[in-house]
């Protein structure tokens, strides 16, 4: 299916808006906040009598061709019973993660499938600070400045927490019967920026000076069967400049495993460190020649950070750390005597505003366009 035209995007948004406003007493108005190759995302708001925002949600409509709609019914594992009807891939993945209570995964609030229109609709939490690409990455790239190192550690930390849940269904203990999830589309646009966590209500929240990174967009996700912890997929998945070698079409050497997620974590960190999205080779032939390129500019960051990112990006997955090993590495450098985060993993509430306003604060965050209490225009 070719990319959507501007007219198609406008038509999908209009249909989404009219459907929700007509059939829901809860949402009063909407605004388009994003679009991709297959659909549109809009913010819907609930208003008081003075048009002040009381509540907001992000709703995404994805429209497929008949063939794609049939092919996307590929989710057969948790939470669907063995032998039960398959689900659309993105719906199944987000349903599986619905009750994991992980701050670093985009939360699904509801979904609807419209087979007659080859469309599915996801109701998700609204992320007030957009995504990594359209915010901080573009700001620092245009300013030709390096992101503060603690901010890179914060993104690493959040994505590792998300991927631990993809691996075992829970942040602490493996869930019985869980089928690990391989995301297959790590990119800056798919890491969304939620609210700042509050160290007043929970002193143990990590990196409260930065918005919470949340992994989203599970349209390429697949599950690994308990009996087969690695698979080969003959189709292309992921995005040029981000995809691992095992995601490349035509290769028969490398298997997809949850270490494909580890590569995704590393490539996001490298993109932030280099202010460049194209450091992963874009085709299999280039991968076979040289692998990932680490430019000199990364030397602005600590040797420990560079070493961890390099380990995530080994061409051969067996050489990469597991996500649990990666979590242990991060714990070593995010606190204690070997801390490389300038002490920002855990911050006293009284220090937060000062740090956010200083040189270690994260720049380029868009204003919350639909803040609670704001007047909806």
Task: Report the binding-site residues.
Answer: 60
* Separation between Cα atoms, residue 267 and residue 273, nearest integer Å: 10
DSSP letters spanning 104-149: TBPPEEEEEEEGGGTEEEEEE---TT-BTIIIIIHHHHHHT-PPPH
| Displacement of CA 273 from its chain's centroid (Å) | 18
Residues 6+ apart with CB under 8 A from 11: none
* Separation between Cα atoms, residue 280 and residue 243, nearest integer Å: 7
* Separation between Cα atoms, residue 367 and residue 208, nearest integer Å: 18
Beta bridge partners of 57: 44
CB 323 within 8 A of CB 163: yes
Query: What residues form the annotated binding site for ATP?
Result: 60
Exposure of 266 by Cβ count < 10 A (0-12 exposed, 13-18 middle, 19+ buried)? buried
């Amino acid at each position: 299916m070719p990319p959507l035209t501007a007219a198609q995007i406008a038509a999908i948004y209009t249909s989404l808006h009219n459907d929700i406003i007509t059939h829901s007493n809860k949402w009063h108005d909407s605004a388009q906040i994003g679009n991709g190759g297959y659909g549109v995302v809009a913010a819907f708001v609930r208003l008081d009598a003075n048009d002040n925002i009381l509540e907001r949600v992000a709703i995404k409509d994805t429209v497929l061709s008949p063939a794609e709609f049939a092919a996307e019914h590929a989710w057969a594992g948790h939470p669907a019973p063995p032998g039960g009807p398959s689900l659309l891939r993105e719906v199944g993945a987000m349903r599986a993660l619905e009750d994991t209570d992980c701050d670093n995964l985009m939360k699904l609030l509801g979904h609807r499938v419209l087979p007659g229109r080859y469309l599915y609709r996801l109701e998700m939490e609204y992320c007030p600070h957009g995504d990594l690409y359209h915010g901080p990455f573009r700001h620092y790239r245009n300013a030709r400045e390096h992101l503060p190192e603690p901010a890179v550690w914060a993104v690493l930390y959040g994505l590792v927490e998300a991927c631990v849940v993809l691996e075992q269904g829970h942040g602490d203990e493996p869930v019985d019967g869980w089928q690990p999830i391989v995301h297959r589309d790590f990119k800056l646009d798919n890491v969304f920026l939620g609210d700042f966590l509050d160290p007043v209500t929970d002193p143990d929240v990590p990196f409260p000076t930065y918005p919470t990174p949340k992994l989203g967009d599970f349209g390429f996700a697949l599950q690994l069967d308990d009996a087969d912890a690695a698979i080969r997929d003959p189709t292309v998945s992921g995005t040029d400049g981000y995809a691992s070698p095992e995601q490349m079409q035509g290769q028969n050497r490398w298997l997809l495993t949850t270490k494909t997620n580890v590569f995704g974590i590393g490539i996001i960190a490298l993109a932030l460190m280099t202010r460049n999205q194209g450091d992963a080779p874009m085709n299999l032939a280039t991968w076979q020649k040289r692998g990932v390129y680490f430019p000199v500019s990364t030397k602005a960051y600590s040797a420990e950070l560079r070493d961890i990112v390099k380990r995530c990006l080994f061409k051969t997955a067996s050489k990469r750390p597991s996500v649990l090993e990666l979590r242990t590495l991060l714990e070593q450098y995010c606190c204690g005597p070997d801390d490389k985060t300038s002490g920002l993993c855990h911050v006293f509430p009284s220090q937060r505003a000062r740090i956010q306003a200083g040189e270690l604060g994260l720049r380029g965050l868009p204003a919350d366009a639909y803040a609670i209490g704001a007047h909806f225009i």
